[in-house]
Chain A
Amino acid sequence: METMQASNSVSVVVCAAENLQPGQRKIAVVDGVEIAILNVDGELYAFRNRCPHQGVEMIYGTVSGTMLPSDPGEYIYGCDNQIVSCPLHGWEFDMKTGKSLFSSKVSVGNYEIQEIDGSIVLKVKREPKSVSLKNFRCSH
C-alpha cells in the first residue's frame, strides 16, 4: 500500500478500485486501527470498525435506510443505503458523518475516502507506520 502526504492529511491507498465493487467491503488496519470500508452502490464510506457502544465489529453491520423523525403514528422511510447499523444491538450511524442517529455526541468515527485513478484512497491524520487489510467472514 502506498501513502501520500497532503496538507493536513495523509492519503493511503487501500486497494485497487476493481477489488471494491458495489456491495463489497474491506477492513483496512492503519497503525492497528481497524477501518471498515464499504462500497454501497458506488458510494464509498469509511468508518471505525468498532462500535462505540460495546465495541463489536461494524463490518458485519447492515446497510439500509431508516425511519425519519416523524409525528406519532407515522412511518416515513428515508436515507436509503446511508445508514449502517451495528450487528449487535443495532445502533444506527449515518455513514456520511459517522454520527449516531440518537445523539450527535456519539459517533462511530468516519474517514474521508474516494476513488482516485483506479485506487481506493483513504485519508488519515498522520503518516501511518503500518497499513494492511484484514480478512473477515463475508456474509453481505
Chain B
Amino acid sequence: METVLKENEVNQKVEKGLIDCDVHPYLADFNELIPYLEEGIQKHMNIGRFEKSMLSNMNAGAFTFPKARYANPNHVLRLDAITPEGGVPGSDPVFTAQDLLDKHQHTYGILNIGHGTMAGYHNVEIAAGYTSGSNDWLYDRWVLSDPRFKMTMSVTPVAPDLAIEEIKRIGHKPGIVGINLQCINIPLGKRHFWPLYEIAQEYNLPIVLHPDCEGTAEYAPPNAVGPASTYAEWHTSLSLIAQRQIASLVCEGVFEKFPNLKFNFIEYGFSWLPSLMWRLDKNWKALRSEMPWVKKLPSEYIRSNVRLGTQPIEESFHPKDIVQLIQMVKAEDMLLFASDYPHWDGDERDSAFLHFPDDLKQKIFYDNAKNSYRL
C-alpha cells in the first residue's frame, strides 16, 4: 500500500488559543531557592549557609521536603522531557517553553509549583516563609522568562492570616492568575478559609486545588478511608478529594457568600461529576433545612463556580461516551485543559480529545480557562 502525502498539508486546528492549566516547574537545585528565603527561615531549615547535612540520613540537621508517601514505580516525570543538558524535567524554563509551549502552540501555560507540599508544612511560619520565597523564585525565574508563562501563587492553608498577607504582598502582580491552596484536614467550605476567600474574590483570583499535600503534609488526611498500599491505589483515589471538597463548599454556602469566586480543581479528573451533582441535588431536596443558605440546586452552584481540569482524562470503554457524560450534566463550561507537563500522567491534547466536538474543544482549550483564571 502506498501513502501519498499531499504537499503543503498543514494540520488545521479549528480552536483558537490554548491555555494549559497545569504546568509544573521544578527546582534544578534546591539552592536556586536560597536567595529568595529570609535568613531566619534558612536558619530554621538548616539550609543555605546554615546547611548541616551531616547525619541527614539519621533525620538530623538537614532539611528534607515533606515527601509523598507513594513512589511511582516507573517515573513520576516524563522521560521525554529531560532537558538537553540531562536536567530534571520541568527545571529549565527555556526548554519547557520550547518543548511544551512552542510545540503545542500554547497561548498560556499556568505554572503550579512542583513542590506544593511545603504549603501544608507543620510549622506554619516556615510554610509561609517557604511559599513566599518559592512564589518569588517562580515569578523571577519562570514568569519573567516568557510572557506565556503565568502562575498560581502558593499560600499556606494552615494559617489563613499568613496566606492573606502573602496575597496582599504579591496578588496584584500581572503574571499571577490564581491561588494555589492545598488540601489539609480542614474542608474547604469551613469558616477557617472565608477571610482568605474574601480577599481572593476581591483580587479576582480563583482558588486552585491541585494534589500535593494529600496524604503527604502532616495536616492532610490520607484518602478518605485510610492509607493506600500502592501508588496506583493512591493516585486513583485522588478524585475523592475533589468530590469531598466540592460537597463541603456547596453545603457550607461558600458559593452564596462568594458568588464571584471560582474554584478550579486541577488533576482530579471529572467523570465523577454526575454522581456528585446528582447525589448533592437529591440530598438537598430532602435536607435543605440543614443548610438553608443553599438556595438553589447544588449542581447549579457547581456549574457556576467550580471548574475541573480534564487531566488525567478518564478513558471510557467507548471513547465517545465521555463526551456524552459531559453533556449529561451540562459541564461544557466547566472543563479546563491541563497537560500536567512534565508529569507521567499528562494528557496530549491532540489524542486525548480526539472525539470531542470542535465547539467543546474550544471551550476546554481556551474559553473556560480565560473565564475562570485572572487572565
Task: List A residues at the B interface (Cβ < 8 Å).
Answer: 53, 66-76, 86, 89-92, 100-103
16 interchain pairs (CB within 8 A)?
A: A67-B289, A67-B290, A68-B292, A70-B292, A71-B253, A71-B293, A72-B252, A72-B256, A73-B191, A73-B253, A74-B293, A90-B286, A100-B285, A101-B288, A102-B288, A102-B297
Q: How far does the alpha carbon of A72 sit from the alpha carbon of B293 in the complex, in Å?
A: 5
Residue B141 is within 8 A (CB to CB) of chain A in the complex: no
Given the complex, which residues of B lie within 8 Å of A90, measured CB to CB?
286-287
Given the complex, which residues of B lie within 8 Å of A89, measured CB to CB?
285-286
Given the complex, which residues of B lie within 8 Å of A53, measured CB to CB?
285
5 nearest A-B pairs in the assembled complex, by CB-CB distance: A72-B253, A67-B292, A89-B286, A67-B289, A72-B293
Most buried by B among A69, A72, A91, A102: A72
Given the complex, which residues of A lie within 8 Å of B286, measured CB to CB?
86, 89-91
**CB nearest neighbor in A for B283:** A89
Which listed residue, A66, A71, A72, touches B289 by the CB 8 Å rule?
A: A66
Query: If the complex has contacts A71-B257, A89-B286, A102-B285, are A76 and B293 also in contact, measured as CB distance less than 8 A?
Result: no
Given the complex, which residues of B lie within 8 Å of A91, measured CB to CB?
285-286
Given contacts A90-B286, A92-B288, A101-B289, 8 further A-B contacts (CB under 8 A): A66-B292, A67-B289, A72-B256, A73-B253, A86-B286, A89-B285, A102-B284, A102-B285
Q: How far does the alpha carbon of A73 sit from the alpha carbon of B293 in the complex, in Å?
A: 7
Given the complex, which residues of A lie within 8 Å of B252, measured CB to CB?
72
B244-293 with Cβ < 8 A to chain A: 252-254, 256-257, 284-290, 292-293
The number of A-B residue pairs with CB atoms under 8 Å apart is: 47
Q: How far does the alpha carbon of A1 sit from the alpha carbon of B191 in the complex, in Å?
A: 59
Given the complex, which residues of B lie within 8 Å of A101, measured CB to CB?
288-289
**Interface residue tally on B, bucketed by range:** 10 to 19
Given the complex, which residues of B lie within 8 Å of A100, measured CB to CB?
285
**CB nearest neighbor in A for B295:** A69
Most buried by A among B289, B290, B293: B289
Given the complex, which residues of B lie within 8 Å of A68, measured CB to CB?
292
Q: How far does the alpha carbon of A101 sit from the alpha carbon of B288 in the complex, in Å?
A: 9
Most buried by B among A86, A101, A102: A102
> Shortest CB–CB separation between residue A54 and chain B, in angstroms?
11
Q: How far does the alpha carbon of A66 sit from the alpha carbon of B291 in the complex, in Å?
A: 11
Given the complex, which residues of B lie within 8 Å of A92, measured CB to CB?
288-289
Query: If the complex has contacts A89-B286, A90-B286, A91-B285, are A69 and B292 also in contact, measured as CB distance less than 8 A?
Result: yes
Given the complex, which residues of A lie within 8 Å of B256, measured CB to CB?
71-72
**CB nearest neighbor in B for A53:** B285
The answer to whether A70 and B289 have CB atoms under 8 Å apart is no
**CB nearest neighbor in A for B189:** A72
B315-341 with Cβ < 8 A to chain A: none
Given the complex, which residues of B lie within 8 Å of A71, measured CB to CB?
253, 256-257, 293
Given the complex, which residues of B lie within 8 Å of A70, measured CB to CB?
292-293
Q: How far does the alpha carbon of A75 sit from the alpha carbon of B292 in the complex, in Å?
A: 7
> Shortest CB–CB separation between residue A58 and chain B, in angstroms?
14
> Shortest CB–CB separation between residue B195 and chain A, in angstroms?
14
> Shortest CB–CB separation between residue B297 and chain A, in angstroms?
8
The answer to whether A76 and B292 have CB atoms under 8 Å apart is yes
> Shortest CB–CB separation between residue A94 and chain B, in angstroms?
13
Q: How far does the alpha carbon of A70 sit from the alpha carbon of B191 in the complex, in Å?
A: 16
